[in-house]
Amino acid sequence: MGRDTYLKKVLGEDRYQKVQGSTVLMVGAGGIGCELLKNLMLSGYGTIHIVDLDTITLSNLNRQFLFRKGDIDQSKSITIKKAVESFNFHGTKLISHHGNIMDTDQFPIDWWDQFSYIFNALDNLEARRYVNKMALFLKKPVMESGTTGFDGYVQPIFPYKTECFDCQPKATPQTFPVCTIRSTPSKPIHCITWAKEFLFQQLFDESVEGDAEDLSNATDNDKELENLLKESNELVELRKLVVATGEVISQNTFFSEMVRKIFQIDIERLLLIDTLWTNRLKPIPISDAQIEEVADLIRSGGIEQRLESLIDTQVWSPLENLLVLYKSATNLQTRMKNNKFIAFDKDDEDTLDFVVTAANLRSLIFQIDTLSKFDVKQIAGNIIPAIATTNAIISGFSNLESLNFLAQNSRTDSSMVFISIRPNKYVTSATLEAPRKQCASCSVARGILKSEEGTLDQVTLEQFIDKVKSKYSYSSDISIILGKSKLIYDFDFDDNLSKSLSEIGFKTGELVLIQDEDDEVENLELYIEVGLKSNDIELPELELRQKILIEKENGHENGVGKDAEEESGDVIESDMAFETIVIEDEVEEEVPAPKKRRIN
Amino acid sequence: MSLCKTRLQEERKLWRKDHPFGFFAKPIKAEDGSLDLTTWTAGIPGKQNTLWEGATYPITITFPEEYPSKPPKVKFPAEFYHPNVYPSGTICLSILNEEQDWRPAITLKQIVLGIQELLTSPNPDSPAQEPAWRAFLKEKDVYEKKIKEQAKRYISTT
């Protein structure tokens, strides 16, 4: 009996052939990816391309079961391919790509065009949005998935036929008003944000706002520059102490100056603004006695011993926080001699210790509860819990739902699946909805603009505009935005008309957004593909639909944003990009929530 | 992201069709000759018959990628003298605050009018700098003198 006997029985001969003949793409080879690749191979998919930009780290190994200790620092996409060869029973052809899926040179649009199905196994919103957009350009079905802790979902996307990834708003990371962070914290998170994004940043990291750079372009006068820098970096004096080398300034100087400035002087200054404290607890600056006590301990050399006995999961005393702050601050100061700057990284002990203790000391001042290092690490590092079982279940649904695509009525057979750990509702499914009319992605017509380099050098923007206007019969003037936010032409801005398209920045992978002045037709987005042998500019055949005007108040429906991952860079993966699932346990029939979906 | 740019172009169009007298607002010109829709400069005229009149105060408006879900960041020049402006120039105003009154439907026109209003009606309950806050509450004559001096620096050219 052949190895595929049961598979043929389960899928049916016809679908089995389709699966065998399919070339699919799996984006991401992490928590979901490891599980999903195994499933796809055992289902007999003919060719699978795997893309991941990451390398394997120790913290991956508890759930990314295709990786072993010896694989640490190796490419995920390449390692995963080797790992599955031992059970490649159906002769699946595996092709690894180590790279960023958003790289238009490595993954141009014609590369995307070879796939019949795209599986997302991603951990961040930005890449999900990008894949979603490419799928809309090429009208390719996508299986989107995500997990957080015990929750997870899969969402089949059929471009322009069912809701796309952007149709439902996604939660954006919480931000705090500058006043709360700088003057009136009331929760531990406020102090952690202050320590990580203000204090640490200004003392050790590159300038966040890029102010210093902007300024150096704006003026040549050194004195003026220094004044401006002072304004943009309130801690410039302290920063100078950090980078000061030589014996004149001892390490203790930096530490005690810092403690005095941020935990005494600044707090006293805040206390002067008395209206702030009529309805709030007054902050209590650190006392001179406390600072003296630390200084004594440092002089007597007894701190190492005290530090060794500290436990990460316990809350430290004010003195212990000060000692750890001293230790980490001096370590960081020493490291700054060889580094221009140091970025916060939850796995870099010095940076973590600094943020933990600075945040806790600020909490003490504002009479907020202090937290253990373990707890602060979770918050400051945006660590999202990842559970192997959740990933496995979701990958299973991802695979199962994709097999529906190859059935007769692909769309009607597919559904969204949510899993969660709620009594009697571990698994819920919902039918796919039509695209939302006000979705910023679905309400745009898309196509590919084909050309070649020589042509882009010759055609002027003015000629291009004429061509677009006549091709799509625009009745009013148009505006053109290139890339993320470069306005190159509108009714009020004709400076670039005589420039050639290549001079303006038209190149492979760039996006051109065209809007009409009178809001009569939908927006049009073109993907520039250079390389075709053509001495003209080929515009896609498209019929622009009438524009749907949406009430302004609905603007918030299209919530967009990045998730925590991108902000921090390195996080344990697997997150739920999806809006919190609106499935209430027992009461769902009685309570019609606006966001509720039809439950099968 | 795609919502951000369509919305910004929409704001530009709206502003062209209708904006309050004495104000200006435009995206900055990038080195490559395009306009950067995410960064605008604008001018806020001081209200007539107030300490602020006769001057146009410059602001920079920076729109994040998540706009309009998230509000733009608005700054006066550093060291701008006003109780609700941080030393860096950042404005503390509830309609620019995601946790308070920001809504995606708020237009550029509403933002600049809100800032013009803030100039003459500071909010003593959310101080952002100590000197101007103290003077505003406790030393009216110093406050008035400082505001008038500042107005001279930003005198309207039209």
- DSSP code string of A309-325: T--TTSPPPHHHHHHHH
Gap between the Cα atoms of A225 and A218, Å rounded? 9
In this predicted structure, what is the pLDDT of residue A256? 84
Q: What does DSSP say about strands A93-98 and A117-120: parallel, antiparallel, or unpaired? A: unpaired
Chain B residues whose beta carbon lies within 8 Å of the beta carbon of residue A562: 65-66
In this predicted structure, what is the pLDDT of residue A333? 87
Gap between the Cα atoms of A438 and A297, Å rounded? 64
> In chain B, whose CA is at the least distance from the CA of A560?
B66
A599 within domain boundaries = no
Reply yes or no on whether the pLDDT at A242 is more than 80. Answer: no
Q: Is A154 helix (H, G, I), strand (E, B) or coil?
A: strand
pLDDT band at B158 (very low <50, low <70, confident <90, very high): low
A218: its two tokens = 């704006």
The complex scores an ipTM of: 0.88
Q: Which residue, A491, A479, A495, A488, is CA-closest to A510? A: A488
Reply yes or no on whether the pLDDT at B8 is more than 90. Answer: yes
Tally the domains of chain A: 3
Q: Given A410, A431, A452, which residue is the final one in a domain?
A: A431
Q: Given A517, A547, A577, which residue is the final one in a domain?
A: A547
Q: What does DSSP say about strands A93-98 and A47-52: parallel, antiparallel, or unpaired? A: parallel
pLDDT: is A558 or A269 the higher one?
A: A269
- CATH code: domain of residue A511: 3.10.290.20
A411 and A537 part of one domain: no
pLDDT: is A462 or A547 the higher one?
A: A462
Q: Phi/psi at A198 (nearest 5 deg)?
A: -110, -65
Q: In angstroms, what separates the C-alpha of B132 from chain A's closest C-alpha? A: 11
Reply yes or no on whether the pLDDT at A175 is more than 80. Answer: no
Sign of the C-alpha dihedral computed for residues A158, A76, A508 and A510 taken in this order = positive
The answer to whether residue B45 neighbours chain A at the CB level (below 8 Å) is no
Identify the burial level of A109 via C-beta atoms within 10 angstroms of its C-beta, where 0-12 means exposed, 13-18 middle and 19 or more buried. Answer: middle
Catalytic residue among A95, A179, A319, A560: A179
Chain B residues whose beta carbon lies within 8 Å of the beta carbon of residue A564: none
> In chain A, whose CA is at the least distance from the CA of B14?
A517
Q: In angstroms, what separates the C-alpha of B122 from chain A's closest C-alpha? A: 14
In this predicted structure, what is the pLDDT of residue B113? 95
A336 and A203 part of one domain: yes
A7 within domain boundaries = no
A249: its two tokens = 């300034």
In this predicted structure, what is the pLDDT of residue A534? 65
pLDDT band at A532 (very low <50, low <70, confident <90, very high): low
Q: Phi/psi at A494 (nearest 5 deg)?
A: -115, 20
- Whether A486 contacts A496, CB under 8 Å: no
Catalytic residue among B92, B93, B108, B118: B92
pLDDT band at A334 (very low <50, low <70, confident <90, very high): confident
The domains found in chain B, sorted by start residue, are 2-153 (3.10.110.10)
Per-residue pLDDT of A474-514, as tens digits, reads 888 999 999 988 999 998 899 999 999 999 999 889 999 99
A215 and A362 part of one domain: yes
Query: For chain A, what is the radius of gyration of the CA atoms?
Result: 28
Reply yes or no on whether the pLDDT at A139 is more than 90. Answer: yes
A210 within domain boundaries = yes
A422 and A530 part of one domain: no
Gap between the Cα atoms of B18 and B21, Å rounded? 9
DSSP state of A141: -
Gap between the Cα atoms of B34 and B42, Å rounded? 18
A366 within domain boundaries = yes
Chain A residues whose beta carbon lies within 8 Å of the beta carbon of residue B2: 133, 166, 440-441, 444, 513, 525
The answer to whether residue B69 neighbours chain A at the CB level (below 8 Å) is yes
Mean pLDDT, chain A, rounded, equals 82
Nearest CB among B70, B99, B128 relative to A561 is that of B70
Which of A3-7, A251-255, A447-451, A577-581 is the least confident region? A577-581
Which of A52-61, A82-91, A311-320, B1-10 is the least confident region? B1-10
- Whether B61 contacts B72, CB under 8 Å: yes
A107 within domain boundaries = yes
Reply yes or no on whether the pLDDT at A37 is more than 80. Answer: yes
Sign of the C-alpha dihedral computed for residues A550, A555, A556 and A560 taken in this order = positive
A573 within domain boundaries = no
Taking CB atoms and an 8 Å limit, are A182 and B86 in contact across chains? yes
CA A350 to chain centre: 25
Which of A140-149, A243-252, A449-458 is the least confident region? A243-252
pLDDT band at A223 (very low <50, low <70, confident <90, very high): very low
Q: Is A30 helix (H, G, I), strand (E, B) or coil?
A: coil
Which uninterrupted H or E stretch holds A427? strand A427-431
pLDDT band at A580 (very low <50, low <70, confident <90, very high): very low
Reply yes or no on whether the pLDDT at A568 is more than 90. Answer: no
Question: Which range of residues forms the domain containing residue A359?
Answer: 178-380
**Most B CBs within 10 Å, among A269, A549, A560, to test the B interface:** A560
In this predicted structure, what is the pLDDT of residue A266? 86
A535 and A423 part of one domain: no
A41 and A131 part of one domain: yes
- Whether A14 contacts A61, CB under 8 Å: no
- CATH code: domain of residue A208: 1.10.10.520
Percent of chain A residues past pLDDT 70, beyond the cut: 83
A574 within domain boundaries = no
In this predicted structure, what is the pLDDT of residue A408? 66
Reply yes or no on whether the pLDDT at A578 is more than 80. Answer: no
Per-residue pLDDT of A276-307, as tens digits, reads 787 788 999 999 998 888 888 888 877 888 88
Chain B residues whose beta carbon lies within 8 Å of the beta carbon of residue A484: 1, 5, 38, 65
Residue A34 is among the residues annotated as catalytic for this protein:
no
Q: To 10 degrees, the CA torsion angle through B108, B111, B112, B116?
A: 170
Q: In angstroms, what separates the C-alpha of A551 from chain B's closest C-alpha? A: 9
pLDDT: is B70 or A577 the higher one?
A: B70
pLDDT: is B136 or A172 the higher one?
A: B136
Reply yes or no on whether the pLDDT at A462 is more than 60. Answer: yes
CB-hemisphere CA count at 13 Å for A331?
A: 13
Chain B residues whose beta carbon lies within 8 Å of the beta carbon of residue A504: 32-34
Which of A71-75, A576-580, A587-591, B37-41 is the least confident region? A587-591
Nearest CB among A176, A275, A444 relative to B99 is that of A176
A299 and A314 part of one domain: yes
A212 and A340 part of one domain: yes
> In chain B, whose CA is at the least distance from the CA of A550?
B105
Q: In angstroms, what separates the C-alpha of A273 from chain B's closest C-alpha? A: 7
A135 and A185 part of one domain: no
In this predicted structure, what is the pLDDT of residue A250? 59
A556 within domain boundaries = no
In this predicted structure, what is the pLDDT of residue A594? 39
In this predicted structure, what is the pLDDT of residue A552? 45
Q: In angstroms, what separates the C-alpha of A257 from chain B's closest C-alpha? A: 21
A289 and A404 part of one domain: no
Q: Which residue, A493, A508, A502, A492, is CA-closest to A460? A: A502
Chain B residues whose beta carbon lies within 8 Å of the beta carbon of residue A561: 65-66, 69-70
A267 and A393 part of one domain: no
Reply yes or no on whether the pLDDT at B2 is more than 90. Answer: no
pLDDT: is A240 or A221 the higher one?
A: A240
A536 and A504 part of one domain: yes
Distance set, CA A474 to CA A74, A492, A501, A517, A544 (Å): 52, 17, 20, 9, 10
Reply yes or no on whether the pLDDT at A214 is more than 60. Answer: no
Highest mean pLDDT among A235-239, A242-246, A262-266, B106-110: B106-110
Q: Which residue, A30, A230, A1, A292, is CA-closest to A145? A: A30
A546: its two tokens = 């009438």
Q: What does DSSP say about strands B35-45 and B24-29: parallel, antiparallel, or unpaired? A: antiparallel
Per-residue pLDDT of B67-119, as tens digits, reads 998 899 999 998 899 999 988 888 888 899 887 889 999 999 999 999 999 99
Which of A224-238, A250-264, A400-414, A531-545 is the least confident region? A224-238
Gap between the Cα atoms of A578 and A430, Å rounded? 14
Nearest CB among A180, A275, A484 relative to B1 is that of A484
Average pLDDT in the A226-244 region?
61
